[in-house]
Structure 1
Amino acid sequence: MPNEDGTLAREGALDRVPEAFAPVVAAARELTGGAFAPGRLHSACLYGSIPRGTAVPGVSDLDLLIALCEEPAEEDRAAAAALEAELDGRFDVIDGASALLFGVPTLLSERERYDLGFFVACLCTPLLGEDLAGRLPRYRPTSLLARETNGDLHLRLPRWRRRLAAAGTDAELARLARGVGRHLVRTGFTLVMPRFGDWAGELEEMAEVFAAYHPERAEQMRTAVAVGRRPGDADRAVLAALIDGLGPWLAEEYRVAHGVKAPRP
């Protein structure tokens, strides 16, 4: 539910973390605090199913956003990769760990105000250090927010086609399938988000909200959910149908409804 003033409520909280994942979260806080050179780390957040309280042991991954005082350097990226490997190797309850790495100047920039800024303020749960949401606006489910969060599908489709053609192993296909399925679902949801008037956290909920406005595309979107949730089962033909069928239609609908995302370097 949105806040009383119609702004979007933050979707996660530390008190929603399932008990099985509490040791992982505690370790993530401790390890992140010591992973980077002195003076580099500003703060860290959790996002995804663990802070939403919907994580499944052995299935869900641990997602971190790490904010650095300055823009990331190669040694920071190496430290983040080592952190991911340490958490993944130590805990069987998670199916991998990932850490997004950004500098505070980028997260608070005007260019990212309605993309990464929104992500930090509404989709991230503070874990360590300052909560940057205090320096960001309150967000509403507007066409501007839709455009800046997911208005880049037209740029992704050619890259996905190239990756599908080049995928030579099941692991490569699965990595592509996970990204394609999840991005299509989120884009479909944000297409209709201004009319829906709220945010949805889970892929299944996003797909059903979308289906209420575009029932003729409901089955394609549910297929995208299945691909995103179980990428190891992805069929090359099904993935191609999503990229070349649902993808172009969705990109054009998005362009007409919200425009395209402001260019990034």
Structure 2
Amino acid sequence: MEHRGLDADGCFEREGSLGQVPGAFAGVVAAARGRIRDAYGRRLHSAYLYGSVPRGTARPGRSDLDLLLALHHEPAGEDRDAAEVLARGLDEDFPEVEGVGILLYGKDTLLSEAERFDLGWFLACRCTPLLGADLAEHLPRYRPDSLLARETNGDLADVLPRWRRRMREASTPDENRRLCRLFSRHLVRTGFTLVMPRWGGWTSDLTESAEVFGGYYPQRADQMRAAAAAALEPVADPAVLRAYVEDLGPWLADEYTARHGTKTPRARHDRQDTH
């Protein structure tokens, strides 16, 4: 029987490792390690990789490098400025990556009770340690249950108005493509976590996620497959974005709330899409 990303006890196995980093990305990962240390020094508690690079599925020139940095204190302006400089420098110096994204948090936030089933789960299960002591040692083991589904992606209804505003503000094909990639990934991952407790496992593969979703919602399967394809090969067509925010997104938000409830309100942090 396939284990579906779970161990023998039915808990998530941590995905990715430094040993799975493709050879083409070894240089940028090594540079990131050194530059993070230089940029943050004693302010840094730990650093992590996540996404396709530590999973071993990154494509040179097509994939981005995703980093999460945990600081001893809550990030200040100088910390965010340093992250921007760091991301820009890595992106410019290494053509292997198409972009560099850095999530920046204080360690107390990552370990907080409010974030236990969101950022805490993300760090413990989807991030690969790169520098420092691993905060996952202070977090519980996680299972693919309805609580996790609710706390990771149970806020799509709140996200959609922001997407509509960003769509209205987009004025170039490149901006539309970036939004297409962001929206598509978020919708596919939300569609997957909607059915995750019933499927009983985890995958970060977007194509597989769409197929798993389609097994439970065949009437929406083609839309989700198309979203998975657009996440990998984003398009500039505004009609695709409109379909997301006017049809698939609202339906998915309503179905999610009906099945899992709404994400617990909390003080939100500005962050990239992680789920």
> Shared fold (TM-score greater than 0.5)?
yes
Q: What is residue 249 of structure 2 aligned with on the other side?
A: 247
Q: How does 1:135-174 map to 2 (within 5 A)?
A: 135-174=138-177
- For the pair 1:48 / 2:51, whether they are aligned, the reply is yes
1:35-75 deviations in whole A, cap 9, x for unaligned?
12x42110000000000000011101100000000000000
1:66-85 deviations in whole A, cap 9, x for unaligned?
00000000000011111101
1:96-133 deviations in whole A, cap 9, x for unaligned?
11110000010000000000000000000000001111
CA separation in 2, counterparts of 1:29 and 1:82? 15
Report how far residue 164 of structure 1 moved. 1.4
TM normalised by structure 2 equals 0.93
Q: Please say which of residues 244-253 and 114-123 is displaced more in the overlay.
A: 244-253
1:148-188 deviations in whole A, cap 9, x for unaligned?
00001001111111221221122322222121111000000
1:180-225 deviations in whole A, cap 9, x for unaligned?
1110000000000001111101111111111111111011101211
CA separation in 2, counterparts of 1:84 and 1:40? 18
Contact 2:180 2:240 survives alignment (8 Å): no
Report how far residue 230 of structure 1 moved. 2.1
Contact 1:220 1:242 survives alignment (8 Å): no
Contact 1:227 1:234 survives alignment (8 Å): no
Q: How does 1:1-80 map to 2 (within 5 A)?
A: 1-36=5-40, 38-80=41-83
Aligned residues: 263
Coordinate RMSD, CA, aligned: 1.0
CA separation in 2, counterparts of 1:166 and 1:17? 36
CA separation in 2, counterparts of 1:86 and 1:160? 28
Report how far residue 3 of structure 1 moved. 0.6
Q: What is residue 127 of structure 2 aligned with on the other side?
A: 124
CA separation in 1, counterparts of 2:238 and 2:63? 24
Which residue, 196, 200, 207 being the options, matches 1:197?
A: 200
Percent identity for Structure 1 against Structure 2: 61
Which residue, 204, 209, 212 being the options, matches 1:206?
A: 209
Instruction: State the AA in 2 paired with 1:165.
Output: R
TM normalised by structure 1 equals 0.97
Contact 2:207 2:229 survives alignment (8 Å): no
Gap regions ≥5 residues in structure 2: 268-275
- Poorly superposed stretches of 4+, deviation over 4 Å: none
Q: Secondary structure of 1:126's match?
A: strand
